[in-house]
Copies of this chain bind each other. A is one copy, B any other.
Amino acid sequence: MPDADHVFMERALFLARRAASWGDVPVGAVVVRDGRIVGEGANVRERDADPVGHAEIVALRDACRAAGRWRVDGATLYVTLEPCVMCAGALVSARVARLVYGATDPKGGAVRSLYEICDDPRLNHRLDVRGGVLAEPCGAVLSAFFRDARRKRRILAS
């Protein structure tokens, strides 16, 4: 039986696949408050030439635009990949209450892998964290994207 976290992560996974369709690393995110989606995002860094175009930040800004404030107190953010330093910092800064992520990022993850930014008692906010929700499909969409990219590079180079 899928719980609510799985249902929202499925939506984030759908958004991740969209990012792949326009050539960005497939990561997707949704912001949920009171059981409703209030913000959505997919990676647009390449597409929009936006240095902060990661899915988490696109979803956060979407939620804030709708609410008319820069804080999203009480919200849960779902994202298909463990957040990087920038995004983990943004989650703390925007006072997100809870983070649910899918696949682990051993090379760049800043929530469990390289740092524990979301649990630092020295910062002015901490989040509840749940990792590994739909980790397998969230990771598989990334692996497929990078496999494809390598194949294309080989064809172009040959």
Contacts and interface: CB of A to CB of B under 8 A. Distances in A.
Interface in A25-54: 45-46, 48-53
Q: How many copies does the complex hold?
A: 2
Nearest to A45: B70
Contact of A51 (B46, B84, B93, B110): B93
A89 to B, nearest CB: 3
Interface string A105-120: 0011010001101001
Interface of A: 45-46, 48-53, 57, 60-61, 64-65, 67-72, 84-90, 92-94, 107-108, 110, 114-115, 117, 120, 122-124
Given A84-B89, A86-B90, A108-B123, 12 more contacts: A51-B64, A51-B71, A52-B61, A84-B93, A85-B89, A85-B92, A86-B86, A86-B92, A89-B110, A107-B122, A108-B124, A114-B120
